[in-house]
Amino acid sequence: MLVQLLISGFLISAIYALATTGFTLLYGVSGILNLAHGTTLVTAGIVAWYVAGLTSFGPLQIIVAGVTSGVVVGLLTYALIVRPIQRLEGLSEADEHVFMLVGTLLWTIILQEILANVFGDVPVSVPQIVSGVVNIFGVRTPISSLMVAAISWGLLGALWLYVGFTKSGRSLLAASINPRGLVLCGFNLTMIHQVVWIIYGLLAGVAGVLIAMVHGVSPSGGLELTATAFSIVILGGLGSVTGSLIAANIIGFIETATAYLVGPSLRSLPSLIILVAVLYFRPQGLFGRR
Amino acid sequence: MNHPATAAPSILRRLPFSTTALAWLAVPCLIALPFLGLSEYAIGIFTLGLFFAVYAMGWDLLFGYAGEPNFGATFLIGVGAYTAAMLNSNGIAPPWICVIAGSVMSVIAGVLLALPALRLRGPYFGLVTLVAVLILRQLIILFSHQTGGEIGIAVPDVLTLSAVANYEIALACAIVSAIMIVLVARSPFGLILQAVGQDPLNAQAMGFSIVKYKLAAFCYSAFFSGLAGALMTFYMGTASLNVFVDASVGVQIIIAAIIGGRRTIIGPAIGGVFLVVLGEYMRPFGRLSELIVAVIALLVLLFLPNGLLGLLKLKRSAR
């Protein structure tokens, strides 16, 4: 029982970590809370499912299709919603925040309805990458679930290398710390924001396909995914990637434990309560800076 | 100043009108509306629109004046609606007592929602309000024996069976709310509230208590939201999650306020009625209707950020 709980907690945490990192990165670098995040994940998952059903495509093509749609949705969000709102004149800072949240929420509804009309409003899931199960300490675990966890952590490792050790990655980090200084050093901030949106799309695309593989996705399930991402990001601290990785594990394990010990229908309640407690007592989260 | 674009509606600019005068002119028209040969169905739509108008006005007092982006308007409305429904369905109290109890409980919910607002700023607070709605939803599902869970809870009593009378009740609720909220917004209290919302540090330095003013604004806004929520419960006959405790309904309220024009109180009321009527008008399109309404709202957001009344104000200030 305990081993089972640990293993499924680990698997779900890996996906949560990947699904949240793009969201955090986006907030850290460009200060935007993308409420269409969950629907971006769902779009990638549904496109991957559609491609998988078309012909006998291999797993690689399926993932590529999902990731491409993630990037496309990311760039569309930037070009159609975020950029126009930033360009509006006469908005105070509070106005812009509300406009951004409302704009991305409307975008969520638009995407959701388009998906439901094109692909039907039903839950779909992408076929497993590989079949077979392994026995870990007496718990039968599908190999593909382990693969999913490996892909998640591998991608997060790659992101860490990119941000820490390449010039373009370091400029992202600089943009989150001091955007004005970066501009004074001759960097093009708009271009950096575009790069962030592409990376965001990549991460969301992969995460979306993986979620569709493990849990299945449906057009109307986007907001729920956004809410989970929120809980994680706020617990870890808005804009802190390390924080959200740790928080993803905390929330993942707590949700799994609740689902096993109390009941699956209440799985999201403890994380909501933690979320409110954090917001009351430590609004900047575990690792956030204000 | 003789720019062709501003010169066009010259009559509009010469009229010595104010939005207040227009609003007073609208009152008799609104009272007479159900007697103009509208079908009971159409009257029903306007009734819902008027309740929505109250929600949007309550939101505007919090955002436009106190500067708090409340994404959980349905938290306040839901508490009012469910209090009224639970009291009535258990046979504890007659409808009017339930409505009053709903408003009072909603004020208490307003205090709960105000507590994080005193500690958090901007987007953080917006998130808390969103989460508040999700938690209320979970709680209602958790205690489904008392609350009816996802199906909803039916109220046995009605205020009145006549569509016209129901309309006039909603209208009375909307007009009283509008007068009370506009009075507060234009009073010295409203000015201080704006100061507290826009520059809390300076407001505090001038000796105004942020805690006192924000709490009062939340209670005031919550009272009218709860009142309208409870009345709407009796009008609809049920309190259900998807009508009263839903994040997307909260977003619709914000959209209504933006379409009408933020910081005008009357604007959001117009936006509320408009949005409900528009949604109904689009109903024949089936699932596409939500898409169309969302696209229209997005276009207004991007191209008319000050809303309908904001447009009028702009014209007048260009004089």
Give the ipTM of the model, two decimals please.
Answer: 0.83
Is residue B186 domain-resident? yes
Does residue B19 form part of some domain? no
Inside any domain, residue B305: yes
CA distances from A236 to A174, A275, A278, B123 (A): 20, 10, 10, 16
Buried b (16+ CB within 10 A) or exposed e, A203-217: bbbbbbbbbbbbeeb
Print burial letters for B164-179: b (CB count within 10 Å at least 16), e (below 16): eebbbbbbebbbebbe
Q: Which chain A residues contact residue B297 at CB under 8 A?
A: 106
- Per the domain annotation, does B27 fall within a domain? no
Span between the terminal Cα atoms of chain A, in Å: 41
Contacts A98 to B, Cβ<8 Å: 63, 69, 126, 254
A122 vs B contacts (CB less than 8 Å): none
Q: How much is the average pLDDT of A17-22?
A: 91
Does residue B313 sit within a domain?
A: yes
pLDDT tens digits along B33-85 = 888 888 889 999 999 999 999 999 999 999 888 888 888 899 999 999 999 99
Both tokens assigned to A99: 């406009």
Does a structural domain hold residue B54? yes
Sign (positive/negative) of CA torsion B250, B252, B256, B258? positive
Domain range enclosing B168: 38-317
CB A234 to CB B127 under 8 A?
yes
The domain total for chain B is 1
Mean pLDDT of chain B: 85
Task: State residue B9's pLDDT score.
Answer: 44
Q: Using CB atoms and an 8 Å cut-off, which of residues 254-273 of chain B contact chain A?
A: 254-255, 258, 262
- Look at residue B227 in the predicted model and tell me its pLDDT: 96
**Is B277 domain-assigned?**
yes
* Residues 108-147 of chain B whose Cβ lies under 8 A from any Cβ of chain A: 115-116, 119-120, 122-124, 126-128, 130-132, 134-135, 138, 141-142
Q: Is A132 left (phi over 0), alpha (psi -120 to 50) or beta?
A: left
Q: For residue range B229-275, what is the model confidence (pLDDT) as tens digits?
A: 999 999 999 999 888 988 888 888 998 998 898 888 888 999 999 99
Q: Write the CATH number for B169.
A: 1.10.3470
